[in-house]
Amino acid sequence: MNFPQNLSAEPGDGQLPTRCPYTFRVMEDPAAQHSPFVNPKYQAEWPLPQGWQNSSTITFAMAGARSSGKSLYIAVVVKLLKRLVVENGGTFRYADETTRMIYEEKYEKPLFEQMGLLPPTPPVASSDAHQQRPLIFALTSRQFPGKRIFVVFRDVAGEDLKEEKFVERQAELDFFRYANRVIFLYDPMAVPEIARMLEGTVPSHDVGDDDPTAVLRNVLSVLGPVDRPRISLCLSKFDTMQFLSEVEHGAFYGGGDQVNWQRVMSNYGASFRRDSAPLDQPFDKGASTLLDLEIRSLLSCLGANELLNQLNIPLMGSHTYPFRCFAVSALGAPPEGDRVSRTGIAPFHCLDPVREVFAEYGLFDGAHIPADFPSAWGSAPQQPSQVPQQAAHPGQQHYPPEDGASPQQAPQRHPGQQPQQTNPNLSQPEPQQEQPAAGKKKKKWWFK
């Protein structure tokens, strides 16, 4: 990989320009004090975070049908992102007070402190629609000292992506066109055959009645004939798929063209059975490519051929949609009612879509960490809000690596298993806080 010498450059040069955090559009003047895409009348209410000028911006837009796990994914991936940055010698903080308030109240406290599930994201037209504001995080990197990097996430309610009256809401989703990545979650429990096979094996949960194919079609219609942001197509809640290896196939498998799911999911040599590369090591592109092929095959077996075909046949224009498939599990185990599993939270492959983007620019990819750089992790037990990549249940026992296991090795496990812990508690800098920006009930006049 040819790492860039600097991250911020002119738009269109393949590097990371300065973008508006609200519309994701590239700012032609990266030194501007206000976003040119925000109505001047409301720029005071929608300011650029401190240090935004001449910075580099990486943007992620979430998509998927209702109950596909978008908010849970954001809650967990922010924790993992912080660990990734710190493990690679960088710093991580909230970029503004609004981000801190929204993340703590809507994501962190309900999931990591109360150990409950997150409520559905309200439609954007609601007065309490917190996703009207993006989540913005400020990062620094050892390999680019002095360079300001901002990562922005925008959550979207599944209600706003459904087919009914979508044209009326389409303008509100224009930021999809300019995202570095669109992360689309596909819930396997939306497939009736899978739900039937797992009935009684995993706790049932609500599944949106929206067709994921129709939801994806709506997202692609927003992109229009020209814009082609890369799409990370994620098979979400992958921990439920792993339970298929325990289902007796005789009751469901009749031979012929039917899929023997017990046999498929019992393949311990598959990439989807192995954990991701350690956070302080380079992102494994080879393993990611193999996983992409495996998940494409699984999606085909799930009857999602039309979903895949839509990405290969442009809805508008002549260019296909660049996409890669992933398998993610935010919780690592099915919830128990409205609570997370008693075994805690153990994410699986959640950070892969983000690390793939970072690897393109040589960011937080392990390659630039000096050999004598000390590990920041000790051996103290963790609290739920501190360790997102293990079972973080209060009072749970944490075990050292097995005899002979290297701390850098990524052991084979499925989402329900707990990862080996070699590096717990880290003291990290307090986030800088700014005055909160007031929101509005309507959004149409916020942006030009």
What is the domain-level CATH number for residue 60?
A: 3.40.50.300
Residue 408 domain flag: no
Could you read off the pLDDT of 62-86 as tens digits, one per residue?
A: 999 999 999 999 999 999 999 999 9
Q: Is the pLDDT of residue 397 over 70?
A: no
Q: Is the pLDDT of residue 299 over 60?
A: yes
Q: Is the pLDDT of residue 89 over 90?
A: yes
Residue 70 domain flag: yes
Residue 379 domain flag: no
Residue 196 domain flag: yes
**CA-based torsion, 144, 181, 348, 312: positive or negative:** negative
Q: Is the pLDDT of residue 388 over 50?
A: no
Tell me the C-alpha distance between 259 and 261, whole Å.
6
Domain that holds residue 109: 40-248+256-360
Q: Is the pLDDT of residue 417 over 60?
A: no
Mean pLDDT of all residues in 273-300 = 94
Could you read off the pLDDT of 198-232 as tens digits, one per residue?
A: 887 777 666 667 889 999 999 999 999 999 999 99
The strands making up 56-64's β-sheet, listed across from edge to edge, are 91-94, 135-141, 144-154, 56-64, 181-186, 230-235, 323-327
Residue corresponding to tokens 């959640």: 350
Q: Is 114 left (phi over 0), alpha (psi -120 to 50) or beta?
A: alpha
Mean pLDDT of all residues in 244-257 = 66
**Better-predicted residue by pLDDT, 58 or 273:** 58
Residue 395 domain flag: no
Could you read off the pLDDT of 423-443 as tens digits, one per residue?
A: 433 334 444 444 444 444 333
Q: Is the pLDDT of residue 402 over 50?
A: no
pLDDT on residue 208:
62
pLDDT on residue 431:
45
Tell me the C-alpha distance between 409 and 431, whole Å.
32
pLDDT on residue 216:
96
Residue 4 domain flag: no
**Better-predicted residue by pLDDT, 406 or 261:** 261
Q: How far lies 293's CA from each of 286, 323, 340, in Å?
A: 11, 12, 30
The contacts of residue 228 (CB under 8 Å, 6+ apart) are: 319, 320, 321, 322
3-state secondary structure of 6: coil
In the chain, how many domains are there? 1
3-state secondary structure of 292: helix
Residue 74 domain flag: yes
Q: Which of 10-19, 36-45, 131-140, 299-308 has the lowest mean pLDDT?
A: 10-19
Q: Is the pLDDT of residue 382 over 50?
A: no
What residue type is 54 in one-letter code?
N
- Helix (H) or strand (E) run with residue 219 in it: helix 212-223
Q: Is the pLDDT of residue 405 over 70?
A: no
**Better-predicted residue by pLDDT, 412 or 354:** 354
Burial of 266 (0-12, 13-18, 19+ CB in 10 A): middle
- At 379, the pLDDT band (50, 70, 90 cuts) reads very low
Tell me the C-alpha distance between 448 and 261, whole Å.
50
Residue 402 domain flag: no
